[in-house]
A and B are shown apart, each in its own frame.
Chain A
Amino acid sequence: MPPPTDPVAAVAAPLISLTDVSKTFQGRRGDTVALAHVNLEVGSGELVSLIGPSGCGKSTLLRVVGGLLGADGAVTVAGSPPGSARAGKQFGLVPQTPALLPWRTVRANVRLLTEVNRGAEAHTVLSAADTDELLAEVGLGEVLDAHPRELSGGMQQRVALVRAFALGAPILLMDEPFAALDEITRDEMRYLLLRLWERTGSTVLFVTHSIEEAVVLSDRVAVMSPRPGRITAVEPVTLPRPRTAEIEDTVEFLGHVSRIRHALRDGMGR
């Protein structure tokens, strides 16, 4: 097994930069250190996955980048603090649950984020027609006026994906968006996400606990240790793009999977 890559994951022109980031939650039964001295850089247009065991702070890290949680250390997004990127609608969040509003139709749910904080629209928001087209492309053309409860879990999560892309935000933050789906649907969603992402050129931070998912999607995979979360290894994924399901049978793919698995085990102290 080759040695894990340098944990201080630096890139030439980082869009997202975390330097010595720590996060402690204060609770009644004492403090919980969720993140300890995390260093990570994500380049513009890069798709980077955060992988680690449950409770390792990967979702916390995503929220720190998104300006939803404060933290110690230096966090910058395009050179500014995450709060101003958030105020400028630079983030498209895809949460773990689809978080669709049940009283809104598919179409209206997709428009939700573009309707609010309108003053901040500096980037290209998809037009209503383009959004409809995108919905049709992901197989939701027949259910534009349906309500979320009429949709399957996979369809709901596709709406959530389109909602993030419709915003036209340069940075997408995805918090285990496919974790609740069955294996077959998950598999489809990975390649659907790649198709949508490849033509937008957006930067993606993708939290997952699936090694295969991380390898299929990512340019680099950052491996995190259990609490307190640290980045213990960064695996660059050299598989060619555009990627299709065939890459999962290649030796390179299995090599990446194996190296990440070992890095995860090392991080767990096994």
Chain B
Amino acid sequence: MRSTRWIAPVVGVAGFLVLWELWVTVFDVPRFELPAPFDIVDHLLDDPGFYFENALVTAKEAMLGLAIAFVLALATASLVVHVPFLEGAAQPLVVLVQVTPIIAYAPAVVIWLGAGVRPILVITAAVCFAPFYFNAITGLRSVDPSALELLQSVDARKREIYWRLRLPSSLPLLFAAGRIAIALSLVGAVLGEFFALVDEGLGAAIKKAQAFNDVDQLWGSIFALALTGSLLVLALGAIERAVLRWHPSVRPALDPPRSLR
């Protein structure tokens, strides 16, 4: 049964593309307005190197920004779960960064830091921070109360409780945040490229395509972004399955207890 799980998603995507193709063909939509999906794929395959190189640039920016956000968010969350005052102090700042539309302050970041990759990383890290931060706080707190009491019964240090109980307990939520952050990191990277006056990356390619009305390159870049995002999510899923082998979300009740074997 397990080996056929991929069928439904593939049918879903293929069905969507076929409907799109039919729509364009039946209503005779001009190619410069909305190209048919198979034309876009054709175009992608004409020059795969161009899209691969630009996707690599954008993916690197996205992952680097995401990593910065992850490290900062986990460090901050680890601090504030032990110092409630700091949590109260940080709360409005994190919410402000989260609710202010990134597209509004992206130009300001570019003016501040200048053109290039630095503002892109800052913008990407800014959009990824909140999901990591809030999930880390919840995760670090969501420990088994009995296990916590057990460690306290031998007077374990806060540091020992953090490394042995809090951090591992937070991993499932951190991975959940990671899935959200991957999508956001691509938003941040593409948006950063729009404003940061760079030549490379799929965001830059989209901007150029729009300027020259190059619908093929526009849609080629969009498809390449979709593929990049999907691959990143799949990679994260593989890491999650490896790291969280012990967690019920990874192997839901596949193995009977040994006592029943």
Contact = CB atoms under 8 A, between A and B. Distances in A.
Given A103-B168, A116-B157, A151 B149 contact: no
Contact of B258 (A87, A95, A96, A142): A142
Contacts of B245: 147
Contacts of B144: 97, 99
B42 interface: no
Contact of A89 (B155, B157, B257): B155
A31 B164 CA distance: 35
Contacts of B247: 102-103
Contacts of B171: 103
B246 A91 contact: no
B227 to A, nearest CB: 33
B257 A116 contact: no
A155 interface: yes
Contact of A117 (B157, B246, B257, B259): B157
B29 to A, nearest CB: 53
Interface string B127-161: 00000000000000000101101111111110011
A173 interface: yes
Contacts of B160: 115-117
With most chain B CB atoms within 10 A of its CB, the pick from A112, A115, A120, A152 is: A112
Contacts of A116: 151, 154, 156-157, 160-161, 164
Given A87-B155, A112-B164, A117-B160, A147 B246 contact: yes
Nearest to A66: B153
A68 B245 CA distance: 33
A167 interface: yes
Contact of B146 (A96, A102, A143): A96
A68 B152 contact: yes
B155 A101 contact: no
Residues of B contacting A: mostly: helix
Interface string A87-116: 111010101110111110000000011011
Contacts of B165: 101
Interface string B223-261: 000000000000000000000011110000001011110
A103 B152 CA distance: 19
B153 A151 contact: no
Given A89-B154, A117-B154, A151 B257 contact: yes
A152 B257 contact: yes
Nearest to B248: A149
A237 to B, nearest CB: 27
Contact residue range for chain B? 20 to 34
B259 A151 contact: yes
Given A142-B258, A149-B246, A113 B150 contact: yes
A93 B149 contact: yes
Contacts of B155: 86-89, 117, 120
A102 B106 CA distance: 43
A137 interface: no
B147 A101 contact: yes
Interface in A62-101: 66, 68, 86-89, 91, 93, 95-97, 99-101
A188 interface: no
Nearest to A103: B246
B146 A152 contact: no
A96 B150 CA distance: 11
A84 B147 CA distance: 21
Contact of A155 (B152, B161, B259): B259
Nearest to B261: A150
A87 B155 CA distance: 5
Contacts of A120: 154-155
A101 B146 contact: no
Interface in A147-191: 147-152, 154-155, 167, 173
B146 A95 contact: yes
Contacts of A66: 153
Nearest to B168: A103
Given A95-B150, A99-B146, A116-B157, 8 more contacts: A66-B153, A89-B154, A91-B153, A93-B150, A93-B153, A113-B150, A147-B246, A149-B246
Closest 10 pairs between A and B when the two form their complex, measured CB to CB: A99-B146, A116-B156, A93-B153, A152-B259, A116-B160, A95-B146, A99-B147, A103-B246, A152-B257, A87-B155
